[in-house]
Amino acid sequence: MLNFTKIKIFFIYLVFISISIFCLSNFSQIDQYLFKKKINLGLDLQGGSYLLLEVDSSPLQKRHLQSKVIPLKKKLIENKIKFKNFKILDNEISFNISNDEINKFEKFFNNKKNNDINLYLDKYRSYEFDFRNINNRILISHSKSGIINLNTSAVDQSIEIVRRRIDETGTKEPSILKRGSNRILVELPGVKDPERIKELLGKTAQLSFKMVTANTSEFGNESFILKDTQEKIIVSKRIIITGDNLIDAKPRFDNINQEPIVAFTLNRLGSQRFGQATSQNIGKRIAIILDNEAISAPVIRDSITGGQGTISGNFTFQAATDLALLLRSGALPAPLSVVEERTVGPDLGQDSIEAGVVSLFVGFILVIIFMIIKYRVFGIIANIALISNLLMLLGFLTLIEATLTLPGIAGIILTVGMAVDANVLIFERIKEELRQENSNNIQAFDNGFKRSIITILDANITTLIASIILFIFGSGPVKGFAVTLSIGLVTTLFSAYYISRHLTSFILFKNREKKLFS
């Protein structure tokens, strides 16, 4: 255990130096190659805002279900299945069929191939919809996997739009990640007041232009109260253009009454449709619907064929700016709500860094002093191992570009306290071996290392298990604690097993016959 070949010594220190050298990267100004890697400060240390958004999938389910109504009816007729009492609820389609035709229905409804009504999801090994049969009444609703699938695609679409909206506000380096099937995690470093971003993310910004009709029948029409004049209008359900047809939107002042408005530019398809609708309906009114609210319904004075138009609606300039931003970045497929929010101001972050660094420093010094008093020369060895342990830990954190949080700093301090344990186990064991009769220095040291290493491994692996589980299930700052603690345990093992063992043997061979450890 105590003999080190030159080549082994070389490798031990090579590993040590090549890991701990990355510490320097945090202080260097060079931003190239490996030196670009730096430890990131968590939001709790640098200040910033953490938002967990959840997609509200109920409108999605409703829309998805409604889109199936016409193809389903067609398919039923195609298969000559007679149905009665066809009803559409928010999350269920239901109808009656005769007993004999249930098998026929099931055959096309649960068909794995080319099924455009009830898609088979390979990923989940399940269909989009389930059906139940209660006394010959068929009830169709989304399956669990169907809902997950809807949520997932809504989240995937939303992430891009969320990113565009946040980028528009000029926030630096936002991190936008998918969490589970229906959530988006947004981290905004340096943002002190997330209210404006929350407002922007709180709107789906689904825009549509529809004609106002004089027809008062319920069928194919819906009624709105105009936001600016409180007038009741009846609007045709037929959509002329939607926000998807927009390629740009900007806030402007109206030339005539200097009111803030939003000027928009349409894509080719949008221009065509808008041109057609406006030239056919001169003198009639067109309603502008945003998120199920009619913002205004201007009279068409002239055909608009250039693909340029404006939206007015008693806006303040801020409101016009926000609306233009939302229209530019696209509509969210479903509303997002904030289910968790954590914001830390920059001054608190600074205070936390200071407190963390001071307590780390003090804890470190106390442990070092204690070890020297207790073990003298070997205390110094333990301290060298401890310092190299810390350097490697920081180097490792830099290498994986870990995020350091306040609990993460606590993890480092705890590592300092617990790291010496490995050395203590070794030294105490050596002392015991020395106390035995007819044992010489070298034998005692050799046995001491051999016997204690098993204990050290067992003891550290159990702690490692706890911290890995904490990493998997922990959230936010707690994860940072688990990261530093886990890496700390690994570097502790390395520094105790190699560095302090080598240094001990070095001292030992210099003082073969002296009485070591009093």
Partner 1 sequence: MKKQYIFNFVSKFKLANSISLFLMLASIILVLFKGLNFGIDFKGGTLMELRVASDNVSIGDIRSSFSKLNLGDLNVKEFGKKGDYLIKFEMKEFNDQMNLKIIKETVTNNLNTEVNFRRIENVGPKVSTELLNSGILAISLALGAMLFYIWIRFEWQFSLGSITAIFHDVLITLGIFSLLSLEVNLSIVAAVLTIVGYSMNDTVVIYDRIRENLSKFSSLNISEISNISINETLSRTVITSVTTLLALFSIFLLGGSILKGFSFAMIVGVIIGTYSSIFVAAPILKYLNVSYKTIEKEKEKN
Number of residues in contact with partner 1, rule: CB under 8 A? 69
Binding mask 394-413 for partner 1 (x = CB under 8 A): ------------xx-xx--x
**Residue from 420, 389, 388 nearest 484 by CA:** 389
Any idea of the CA torsion for 356, 397, 420, 351, to the nearest 10 degrees?
0
Among 160, 173, 351, 401, binds partner 1 (CB under 8 A): 351
- In the list 117, 233, 442, 478, the residue contacting partner 1 (rule: CB under 8 A) is 478
170: left (phi > 0), else alpha (psi -120 to 50), else beta? left
In this chain, which stretch among 131-139, 145-153, 211-219, 352-360 interacts with partner 1, using CB under 8 A? 352-360
Give me 511's structure tokens.
């003082």
Using the minimum distance from each CB to partner 1, give the nearer residue, 284 or 431.
Answer: 431
Nearer to partner 1, 400 or 469 (CB): 469
Minimum distance, C-beta of residue 344 to partner 1, in the bound complex (Å):
5
Q: Which CB atom, from 50 or from 264, has the smaller least distance to partner 1?
A: 50
Both ends of the chain: CA-CA distance in Å?
23
Query: Site for partner 1 (CB under 8 A): which residue of 476, 501, 503, 504?
Result: 476
> Looking at 20-28, 210-218, 226-234, 358-366, which segment touches partner 1 (CB under 8 A)?
358-366
Question: Pick from 29, 103, 472, 518: which binds partner 1 (CB under 8 A)?
Answer: 472
* Token duo for residue 334: 């479903």
Report how far apart, in Å, the C-alpha atoms of 37 and of each of 27, 30, 32, 147, 187 are: 11, 10, 9, 40, 20
CA 433 remoteness from chain centre: 54
- The string of DSSP letters for 16-80 reads HHHHHTHHHHTT----SGGGG--PEEPHHHH-EEEEEEEE--HHHHHHHHHHTHHHHHHHHHHTT
Mode of pairing for the β-strands spanning 48-55 and 84-88 = unpaired
Contact between 316 and partner 1 per CB under 8 A = no
Distance CA 506, CA 3 (A): 9
Q: Using CB under 8 A as the criterion, what x/- string covers residues 50-89 for binding partner 1?
A: --x-x-----------------------------------
Question: Interface mask (CB under 8 A) for partner 1, residues 410-429, using x and -?
Answer: x--xx-xxx-xx--xx--x-
CB of 270 or CB of 488, closer to partner 1: 488
Binding mask 14-53 for partner 1 (x = CB under 8 A): ------------------------------x-------x-
- Residue 356 touches partner 1, criterion: CB under 8 A: yes
195, containing H or E segment: helix 195-201
Residues β-bridged to residue 262: 251, 311
Q: Assess 177 for contact with partner 1 (CB under 8 A).
A: no
Name the one residue in this structure whose structure tokens are 């047809």: 245
Overall residue count recorded for the chain in this entry: 518
b/e map of 477-490 (b: 16 or more CB within 10 Å)?
A: bbbbbbbbbbbbbe
Residue 260 in the binding site for partner 1 (CB under 8 A)? no
One residue of 467, 491, 492, 495 binding partner 1 per CB under 8 A: 467
Q: Does 466 bind partner 1 (CB under 8 A)?
A: yes
Q: Report the alpha-carbon distance of residue 470 to residue 475 in Å, rounded.
A: 9
Find residue 311's DSSP bridge partners. 262
Comparison of 333 and 480: residue with beta carbon closer to partner 1: 480
Residues that bind partner 1 (CB under 8 A): 44, 52, 54, 195, 338-345, 347-348, 351-352, 355-356, 358-360, 362-364, 366-367, 370-371, 374, 406-407, 409-410, 413-414, 416-418, 420-421, 424-425, 428, 432, 451, 454-455, 458-467, 469-470, 472-478, 481-482, 485
